[in-house]
Homo-oligomer: A and B are copies of this chain.
């Protein structure tokens, strides 16, 4: 990594950015056991169809997953299972760091770091933001 020029570094950063959203990690996780279409992801992860579609597109654009169209359905699958090695590496690392005494798959549910609030609260006020 030492010898990377700026565009290359941007690609590496973009890769990490693709993995930096919980819902996308959940999607990758769901694809562990095989390909899924958008509807299945929407159901399994209990998110909106629009959101699932968007994040799947982002993951595909980042080269993490691949799309296969079949009729009106779009099936997505992991492009390279080595991604999971990476995830597990990070999980181990993170697990070590926070809660040296708490197992990673246990529940360290006390210290949620900024729970990603749900956005959109006021219905429509047309730019009030004073």
Contacts and interface: CB of A to CB of B under 8 A. Distances in A.
Interface string A97-130: 1100000110111111111100000000001011
Q: How many copies of the chain does the oligomer comprise?
A: 2
B17 A16 contact: yes
Interface range for A: 35 or more
Contacts of A58: none
Determine the main DSSP class of A at the interface with B: helix
Interface string A40-69: 000000000000000000000001000000
A90 B11 CA distance: 10
7 contacts: A1-B88, A6-B112, A8-B104, A9-B25, A12-B91, A13-B22, A85-B89
Interface of A: 1-17, 19-22, 25-26, 29, 32, 63, 80, 82-91, 93-95, 97-98, 104-105, 107-116, 127, 129-130
